Amino acid sequence: MNSSKNVTISDIARAAGVSKTTVSRYLNGKFSMMSPETRSRIETVIRMTNYQPNSLAQSLRGHRSMQIGIVISDLVSPFCAAMIRGMGQPLLEAGFIPLIVDSKEDPALEARLIQTLMSRKVDGLIVNTSSYVNPDLIRIACEGVPVVLCDRYISDYRFAFVGSVHRSPITRLVAHLKEEGFGKIGFFTQEYRGNSTRFIRRDAFARALAEHYPGDDSEELTFVLDLTDQSGTIRCVEKLLASCPGGVPAIIAVNSATTMHLLGAIRAMGLTMPRDIGLCGPDDWGWDQQYSMSPLNYPGITSFTVHPAEIGALAAETLLNMIREPDREKRDILLPSELLIRDSTRLRASREEEA
Amino acid sequence: MNSSKNVTISDIARAAGVSKTTVSRYLNGKFSMMSPETRSRIETVIRMTNYQPNSLAQSLRGHRSMQIGIVISDLVSPFCAAMIRGMGQPLLEAGFIPLIVDSKEDPALEARLIQTLMSRKVDGLIVNTSSYVNPDLIRIACEGVPVVLCDRYISDYRFAFVGSVHRSPITRLVAHLKEEGFGKIGFFTQEYRGNSTRFIRRDAFARALAEHYPGDDSEELTFVLDLTDQSGTIRCVEKLLASCPGGVPAIIAVNSATTMHLLGAIRAMGLTMPRDIGLCGPDDWGWDQQYSMSPLNYPGITSFTVHPAEIGALAAETLLNMIREPDREKRDILLPSELLIRDSTRLRASREEEA
DNA sequence: TTGTACGCGTTATCAC
DNA sequence: GTGATAACGCGTACAA
């Protein structure tokens, strides 16, 4: 959008010797309403000038901006990046352009950004929220703007939601670790209050522990890490090891960032997996699908699949449906997960090998 | 932007008992042009309705969309994600909103996306290109739309450019490896033609090799990998090992994705660093700054710093300057890099330890 | 200090 | 088949 004069529909009309109306009809494919020769005249002029209609004017006139606001909690996380990529295709194909903003896990910033998007007149909102309470968002939804929540949800309101199954993979992981003979399981997490995903995973851990390790206290075995503090993490791992004398403990990491972090800690401590300690967690980043030889694969780390790109794509499609048919009932979509057992938790096999 | 009637400037005017003009003045902070009481009346009404001006109409009227197009080559790469994050702050603070699109390293898609952005009337373009030739982009720049290239450049035209120093870090790396006593250096890269960054790094390797390893052929020692083919990579590593009988070879990886990939391969082959092989490369992802214990740190991998977020921020600021002062001369900005020597290439120290 | 009237580039309605 | 014309919501000469 520049100071230099842009070619408009009137210019085309004048050059083709027709009226704006006819050009507009041409642009919207109403070819049956004009003679073949005017059609081709217009076509030629448009070709020559490579004219493109001003979508701002179209939006103003048509009351639809064809813009979708996307609020993401942490753009640099591979999980979020993959979700965003997943959203792009369906939106662009439907003629919408995403306005992507990054709240950096800051609820206050998130609120401001949502305001910004609203004043830009977006036709809908996909929110991967940093908040757990967000009255503004609820108000917006009530005012009739289609909103889809993505991966994380908010209390006090039933939004359309697309995410992953979080509970059952953790449950199966605990059962698997028990079966392999691990003596103790620690759940290593980032701060999990105010984050529905972490909260559910940690809750699933607590319940599974009660079933498979009846004596253990899930409070004591939940370690809340600061991913920038390496020595703190090492102390937590040491504590877990000390709590399991004569046995081998295992770690369930709450997400991939924590897994990577622990991978570093375990190597720094000179521990061998699974002989000294087990490690497993979600593959939130979808790296299993993308890279054949990520650090998650060698040495193989037991994980369960998450599908961020698919979540994003489904969220976008859900939103598009809401825009097309506003009164359709909304239904949550939860993507299933698959367990991938790898060496980092194959304790029995490793023992047999040594014997 | 919904079917339900939105509150407009006329509504505010009517409610406050003034004209649209006065409200408009209020919105643009021209308080000196109205009496204190009308000002407060307007303020009240706007509060009550939480009215926000329609930015579409503002843009149409003012010939500035306050939108910046961002074309990224690979959104899911941590490097690109960090660049985008860096752009966000300056743009939003200046009142612009980024329209982010992902070309997925596809030049044809890139061209289409740029068209889309132009028809959305963006006020400027930041392009992290997937092409090496792009006449459309050159045409757009010539038509007066401000364009900044980011990290990668295009042939045949002098765009404003923000990127990293690529040549000297590789040179210093080769010198370092020579000094440590590595017998051979292999340059492991993804396809590097049509990618200015990879091309420069590989060229720097060739020149440095000629200086420090006069006999070696840089052609033979350049290995072009497919990051989805693990066995192919392993064969390349084996070839490098075989070419260095009685000595220890080292690998320079062209980027972080390749480094991660090689890390997996080396572990899968059961090799120990630096005893059996050396490994180093750029930290394109800025993980050194972000995570205290990334897999790059344990075991420590020698790397040189790259600053994607800073590149993004500087690119955004450069573009804003171009918008504000169109005729200012454009100057390339190249961010410096720092070498971080870690265990993966400390061959001498490792030998002394063993002795 | 305040208001009127026009134009930004489109599309939809209605008339020819 | 084609074309005036009136919106869409806002900013700004110009007038009062």
The pLDDT of residue A155 is 87
Distance B168 CA to C10 C1' (A): 54
CA distance B151 to chain A (A): 17
Q: Is the pLDDT of residue B1 over 80?
A: no
B67 versus B290: which is more confidently predicted?
A: B67
Q: Chains A and B: how many Cβ contacts under 8 Å? A: 177
Long-range contacts of A9-16 (CB under 8 A, 24+ apart): A9/A51, A9/A53, A11/A49, A11/A51, A12/A42, A12/A45, A12/A46, A12/A49, A12/A51, A15/A45, A15/A49, A16/A41, A16/A42, A16/A44, A16/A45
With a CB cutoff of 8 Å and minimum separation 6, the contacts of B137 are: B114, B125, B127, B129, B131, B147, B154, B157
Chain B residue numbers with beta carbons less than 8 Å from the beta carbon of A299 are: 267
The pLDDT of residue A292 is 52
The pLDDT of residue A354 is 75
Nucleotides of D under 7 A from a protein CB: 1-13
Q: Is A171 left (phi over 0), alpha (psi -120 to 50) or beta?
A: alpha
Q: Which CATH architecture has domain A61-164+308-335?
A: 3-Layer(aba) Sandwich (3.40)
Strands (E), chain A: 67-72, 97-102, 124-127, 147-150, 160-164, 184-189, 222-224, 249-253, 278-283, 302-305, 333-335, 339-340
CATH number of A167-306+339-354: 3.40.50.2300
**Residues B141 and B159 sit within 8 Å (Cβ to Cβ):** yes
Q: To the nearest whole number, what is the mean pLDDT of chain B?
A: 92
Among B6, B56, B271, the residue to mutate for chain A (most A Cβ within 10 A): B56
Q: Is the pLDDT of residue B21 over 90?
A: yes
The pLDDT of residue B155 is 87
Q: From the C1' of D5, which residue's alpha carbon is nearest? A: A21
Between helix A167-180 and helix A196-212 the angle, nearest 10°, is 40
Nearest Cα residue in chain B from A228: B292
Residue B354 confidence class, pLDDT cut points 50, 70, 90: confident
| Structure-token pair, residue B316 | 């955004």
What are the tens digits of pLDDT across the range B125-148? Answer: 999 999 989 999 999 898 889 999
Nearest Cα residue in chain B from A116: B97
Of the ranges B19-33, B64-78, B134-148, B296-310, which one carries the lowest mean pLDDT score?
B296-310
For tokens 């939105």, the residue is B6
The pLDDT of residue A309 is 96
What are the tens digits of pLDDT across the range A230-289? Answer: 899 999 999 999 999 999 999 999 999 899 889 888 888 989 999 999 999 999 987 766
* Concatenated DSSP letters of B334-345: EE---EE--GGG
Pairing of strands B124-127, B67-72: parallel
Q: From the C1' of C5, which residue's alpha carbon is nearest? A: B21
Instruction: Extract the residue ranges of chain A whose pLDDT is less than 50.
Output: none
Q: Decide if A61-164+308-335 and A167-306+339-354 have a common fold.
A: yes
What nucleotide is nearest B121 when CA is compared to C1'? C9
B352 versus B73: which is more confidently predicted?
A: B73
Residue B291 confidence class, pLDDT cut points 50, 70, 90: low
CA distance A271 to chain B (A): 12
Please tell me whether any atom of strand C lies within 7 Å of the Cβ of B115.
no
| Structure-token pair, residue A346 | 């194959």
Distance CA A31, CA A134 (A): 48
Model's pTM, two decimal places? 0.93
Task: Inspect the interface and report whether the beta carbons of B293 and A233 lie closer than 8 Å.
Answer: yes
Tell me the percentage of chain B whose pLDDT exceeds 90. 78
Q: Is the pLDDT of residue B2 over 60?
A: no
The pLDDT of residue A267 is 82
CA distance A183 to chain B (A): 27
What are the tens digits of pLDDT across the range B101-129? Answer: 999 999 999 999 999 999 899 999 999 99
Task: Inspect the interface and report whether the beta carbons of B291 and A261 lie closer than 8 Å.
Answer: yes
Please tell me whether any atom of strand C lies within 7 Å of the Cβ of B189.
no
What nucleotide is nearest B12 when CA is compared to C1'? D9
> So where are chain A's domains?
9-53, 61-164+308-335, 167-306+339-354
Please tell me whether any atom of strand C lies within 7 Å of the Cβ of B21.
yes
Amino acid at A208: A
Residue B350 confidence class, pLDDT cut points 50, 70, 90: confident
Burial B202-215 (b: 16+ CB within 10 A, else e): bebbbebbeebbee
Phi, psi of A197 (to 5 degrees): -65, -55
Task: Inspect the interface and report whether the beta carbons of B81 and A82 lie closer than 8 Å.
Answer: no
The pLDDT of residue A260 is 85
Q: Is the pLDDT of residue B194 over 90?
A: no
Chain B residue numbers with beta carbons less than 8 Å from the beta carbon of A85 are: 75-76, 102, 104
Chain A residue numbers with beta carbons less than 8 Å from the beta carbon of B97 are: 99, 101, 116, 120
Q: State mean pLDDT over B179-188.
A: 98
Residue B268 confidence class, pLDDT cut points 50, 70, 90: confident
Q: From the C1' of D1, which residue's alpha carbon is nearest? A: A34
